Amino acid sequence: MSNESPSDERNNKLSRRTFVASGVGLALMFGLGAVAKAAPRQALLRPPGGQDEETFLSKCIKCDRCRSACHTSAIGIVPIEKGFLQARTPMMKFHIGSCDFCNQCIDVCPTGALKPFDKQRDKIGMAYLTDVCIALNYGACTLCYSACPYKAITLDEHKRPIIDEQKCNGCGVCENICPALMMRSYVGGKVRGVEIRPISSKEV
């Protein structure tokens, strides 16, 4: 026969419930932690020379020197929503500036996270037309074609742009100059008519 009073018994039950609940909580935490750890990271547009994402992440110390050195303000930082490991590392922001391959970011990088880059051979990313491209929808825009410094854009018989994947090095001039976002901003559009995407969509 138990010597426990009704209130002792109630307290013991509560403690058992608390224990089980916290155990489940811990299991969930560790479980979710494992999922978060295993979740693939999104490929990002890195400054020139940082295209091998695994090597880049192993070397970048988030010192911000490359961003400070960029005279066109083409380098921004990855927001925390992209994950702890990638947060505050540099990524290209072609809405703000484009890259002229001055190599300043590579020169100031203290760890070799940004490797020597050859603009004729290497690529930051690749230009793609999106469904808001003015030329694709209405014609009458050839800005990216005129602006591309590497003659990587030609026009078809309807004056629609065609990207030459061999010549495009992902400099971002076309995305930077594209007016499609401005025209659609009143409906909350965030995409331009041409955007530069990482070469490998392979998740790391």
Residues that bind ligand SF4 (CB under 6 A): 47-48, 60-66, 69-70, 72, 74-75, 90, 99-105, 108-109, 111, 113-114, 127, 148, 150, 152-153, 163, 168-174, 196
Check if the beta carbon of residue 79 is closer than 8 Å to that of residue 90.
no
CB of residue 169 to ligand SF4, shortest distance in Å: 5
Nearer to ligand SF4, 44 or 153 (CB): 153
Element (H, E) at 33: helix 6-38
CB of residue 15 to ligand SF4, shortest distance in Å: 50
Nearer to ligand SF4, 137 or 154 (CB): 154
Closest CA to 148 of 171, 166, 179, 128: 171
| Residue 135 vs residues 54, 145, 178, 188: alpha-carbon distances, Å | 37, 11, 11, 20
CB of residue 18 to ligand SF4, shortest distance in Å: 45
Cα 71–Cα 179–Cα 152 angle in degrees, nearest 5 = 70
Nearer to ligand SF4, 23 or 79 (CB): 79
Closest CA to 136 of 176, 94, 191: 191
Nearer to ligand SF4, 88 or 184 (CB): 88
